[in-house]
Amino acid sequence: MGQGLSFDLTQDELEDLQRGCSSKFSQTEIQILYKRFLKLDNQKRGFISGEELLAIPEFSLNPLAQRLVSVFENVNFKDFLQILSAFSPKATKEEKLRFMFNFHDVDGDGYISRLDLEHVVRQRVGASLDESEMDRLLTRVLEESGSKQERLNFETFCACFLEEGDFSLDVDIPSDDEL
Amino acid sequence: MGKESKPRKASMMIMRTGSNRLNMSSDDLGGLGLDFNNTSQNKVADEIDETLRKEEKIRVSGNACAHGLLRDVLDISSTLEEGAAAIVDDSFTRCFNKASLGNWNFNAYLLPFWVLGVLLRYFVLFPLRLAWLLASFVVLNILFALSRLIMPKGALKLRVERKLVQLIAVCWVASWSAVIICHGPKPTPSKGRVWVSNHTSMIDWIVLSQVTPFAAVMQKHPGWLGLVQTFIMDGFGCIYFNRKSAKDRDKVARTIKEYVKNDGSFPLLIFPEGTCVNNQYSTMFKKGAFDLDCAVCPIAVKYNKIFVDAFWSSRQQSFTMHLFELMTSWAVVADVYFLEPQYRREGETSIEFASRVQAMIARKARLKVVPWNGMLKYFKPSPKLCEQKREIFGSAIKKRLKEDKDFPREAVETREGKT
């Protein structure tokens, strides 16, 4: 009690972690996130498993929980910070878009293919669209994107988010007196 | 551009629209758990699910009108934001976590003092306080009843009643040896004003009434608390409701409107959160209190948890136990801030007004604002909810597809023309 947070990480480790996430988080925020990380990592294995993530009630209700799990599960704290840094208010619009692009790019080939898109859209709509409707939707969407090979690259993706203040992808880090 | 970003903003606000239906509810539901039977609980749970469904629907449709289909399909930002926020901070359960008292750094020579303290608190202080509370309560209530029966209606009677209510609150507060520091101007009763405060426990009302007697909008409780409500608090315009009945809500809304317009004898106090929160967070402010076309005077109450956590976790604890906990602690320490009255600005919706006032209170009381509807404390959102969210998004997309089928070329052309 009363010792605060700072004894979990040394100054060197903190600075290393901060470099790892390109200073998108302050050192205090990193310590807070570390606490949270340890708390979620029930079995103390150094990473958070999918089950441990899905045990958060708010999280389990998220339509994209499955895909989010595959992004955040089984990574060490340094990578966890790096992934999360897209949600920092300090992250640029491009970094945020890059995160959303990669989120769609399920197979990781640098393009959002028809299959990638179907994977994510399926998670968002559940069973409410049947196969033919889904098919029509994907065709329609890819047509609107104007791409000829039925896949989106990062530039086409960004073109949909041109306007200023168009979307927000910021997450507040709680302050340490609440921990 | 401004045109397009507006629906987005609206959709951000939608998370709060639960207030439409769960208006006005104030004070804690706590006692309710006791006499709640299953059917009505299910009913309210359904109602909440319904609200959430509606919110999602408006959110989705708000987005859908603003952009092309491609954009709507690709924009997953708000869902991602929610997901990441849940990973970083599980804020909802935190709102209702009771702080455990910090452990002592025990050692051999501190222990005897601690034991002495416990003995003193439980076996000396507590009986004295209880005797004091009961005695003052009985005497003052008899006086209060007498004044209501005997005294002729008029300004003098009102003044006597106000003084007596205040004295009851003062005696009650003294039974916890409370240290309460008030900041800002003392509220004066008048027409056309309503006071709103963050809510930690039933004792908020007592703490505030010892400054100036307030009439509160509160949940009707069973047991001895209910008796106090019926026989005493009723006498000065407290307004009760039963959360499980939707009919009650409309009635209460009307009563409040009438009261604020016509009666200024006791200032009216509303807790827009509608439930007790642990004084570190602030759940959604319901818009009812902000719909009255009158001045809204914010009050921020911050408890110091050094001796005892004043949060009434009503699901785990009866009010009697809560009082016992307070009366066996060394002291209840609190700061009360009376803030500057706020008026609805031109073009501001009551929901926006509510969040503006909430932000003021939260800043002063150092609370973190979370978008959750406090009612969810009583009703766990079902996993079906996720499936429902999907369905709502799905049907919005379906609708768009159908529209597209009717005018497919046109839609594409206008969009291309824009970009």
CATH architecture of A12-91: Orthogonal Bundle (1.10)
B260-282 pLDDT, tens per residue? 887 767 889 999 998 889 898 89
**pLDDT confidence of residue A176:** 60
Of A127, A136, A160, the CB nearest to B71: A160
Classify the phi-psi angles of B223: left when phi > 0, otherwise alpha if psi is within -120 to 50, otherwise beta: left
Strand spans (E) along B150-280: 179-183, 193-197, 215-219, 239-241, 268-270
- pLDDT for B331 beyond 80: yes
Q: What mean pLDDT, rounded, does chain A reach?
A: 84
Q: Mind telling me how many Å the CA of A134 is from chain B's nearest CA?
A: 9
pLDDT in the model for residue B414: 46
Q: State the average pLDDT over residues A29-56.
A: 87
CB contact under 8 A, B385 and A128: no
* pLDDT tens digits for range B224-238: 888 888 777 776 778
- What value does the mean pLDDT take over residues A41-55? 87
**Rounded Cα gap, residues A60 and A53, in angstroms:** 8
Closest CA to B327 of B138, B134, B197, B166: B134
Look at residue B380 in the predicted model and tell me its pLDDT. Answer: 56
What's the pLDDT score for residue B257?
86
- pLDDT above 90 covers a percentage of chain A that reads 27
Q: For residues B283 and B374, is the Cβ–Cβ distance under 8 A?
A: yes
3-class SS of residue A69: helix
Rounded Cα gap, residues B287 and B18, in angstroms: 9
Q: Which residues of B touch A136 (CB under 8 A)?
A: 401
Q: How many degrees, rounded to 5, is the angle at CA B400 between CA B397 and CA B401?
A: 90
Which string of b and e fits B339-365 if b means at least 16 CB within 10 Å? beebebeeeeebbbbbbbbbebbbebb
Give the pLDDT score at B382. Answer: 65
Contacts of A58 in chain B (CB under 8 A): 82, 85-86, 90-92
Cβ within 8 Å of B, A 120-159: 120-121, 123-129, 133, 136-137, 140-141, 143-146, 157, 159
Percent of chain B exceeding pLDDT 90 equals: 29
Q: Quick one: which of B72, B30, B366 has its CA closest to B222?
A: B30
A19 vs B93: which has the higher pLDDT = A19
Strand A112-113 vs strand A151-152: parallel, antiparallel, or unpaired?
A: antiparallel
At residue B148, the pLDDT reads: 82
Q: Is A84 on the interface with B (CB under 8 A)?
A: yes
What pLDDT is recorded for position A77? Answer: 92
Cβ pair A100:B76 closer than 8 A = yes
For residue A166, give both structure tokens.
């168009």
With a cut of 60, say whether residue B14 has pLDDT above it: no
Q: What is the pLDDT of residues B367-383, one digit of tens each?
A: 988 777 776 666 555 67
B268 φ, ψ (degrees, to nearest 5): -95, 130
Q: What is the mean pLDDT of chain B?
A: 77
CA–CA distance, A134 with A156 (Å, rounded to integer): 21
Q: Compute the average pLDDT of residues A37-58.
A: 85
Residue written as token pair 């999907």: B390
pLDDT of residue B372: 73
Please tell me the distance from the alpha carbon of residue B231 to that of residue B234, in angstroms, as a whole number: 6
Q: Which two structure tokens, joined as six digits, stand for B170?
A: 């003062």
Task: Return the domain boundaries, chain A.
Answer: 12-91, 93-159
In the predicted model, is pLDDT for residue A57 greater than 70? yes
* Pairwise CB contact (< 8 Å): B80 & A68: yes
At residue B303, the pLDDT reads 95
Is any Cβ of chain A less than 8 angstroms from the Cβ of B403? no
Count other C-beta atoms under 10 Å from residue B392's C-beta: 24
CA distance A11 to chain B (A): 22
Mean pLDDT of B280-293: 88
Q: What is the ipTM of this complex?
A: 0.88
Task: Tell me the residue type at A108.
Answer: G
Of B69, B393, B416, the CB nearest to A124: B393
- Quote the distance between the C-alpha of residue A102 and its chain's center: 9
CA B130 to chain CA centroid, Å, is 29
Query: If you count residue pairs, one on A and one on B, with CB atoms under 8 Å apart, how many are there?
Result: 171
Kindly determine whether residue B77 and residue A1, on different chains, have CB atoms separated by under 8 Å.
no
**What does the pLDDT look like over B164-174, one tens digit per residue?**
989 999 999 99
pLDDT single digits (tens) A77-94: 999 999 999 999 899 888
pLDDT (mean) for B8-35: 34
| Contact status of B49 with chain A (Cβ, < 8 Å) | no
pLDDT band at B57 (very low <50, low <70, confident <90, very high): low
Residue B58: CB partners within 8 Å, gap ≥ 6? B11, B14, B17
Same fold yes or no, A12-91 and A93-159: yes
The pLDDT of residue B1 = 35
Q: How confident is the model at residue A99 (pLDDT cuts 50, 70, 90)?
A: very high
Q: Do A87 and B84 touch (CB under 8 A)?
A: yes
Which residues fall within 8 angstroms of residue B169, CB to CB, at 6 or more apart? Answer: B206, B207, B209, B210, B213
pLDDT at position B354: 93
pLDDT exceeds 60 at position B86: yes
- Model confidence pLDDT, tens digit, residues B173-195: 999 999 999 999 998 888 888 99
For residue A65, pLDDT beyond 50:
yes
pLDDT at B378: 60
Three-class DSSP category at B280: coil
The span from the CA of B15 to the CA of B118, in Å, is 46
The encoded tokens of residue B313 equal 């976790």
pLDDT of residue B406: 53
- From the options 1.10.730.10, 2.60.120.10, 1.10.238.10, 3.40.50.150, give the CATH code of A93-159: 1.10.238.10
- Classify the phi-psi angles of A12: left when phi > 0, otherwise alpha if psi is within -120 to 50, otherwise beta: alpha
Alpha helical stretches, state H, B269-349: 319-327
Residue B405, pLDDT > 80, answer no
pLDDT (tens digit per residue) in B129-174 = 999 999 998 999 889 888 888 888 888 888 888 899 899 999 999 9
Chain B residues whose CB is inside 8 A of the A121 CB are 73
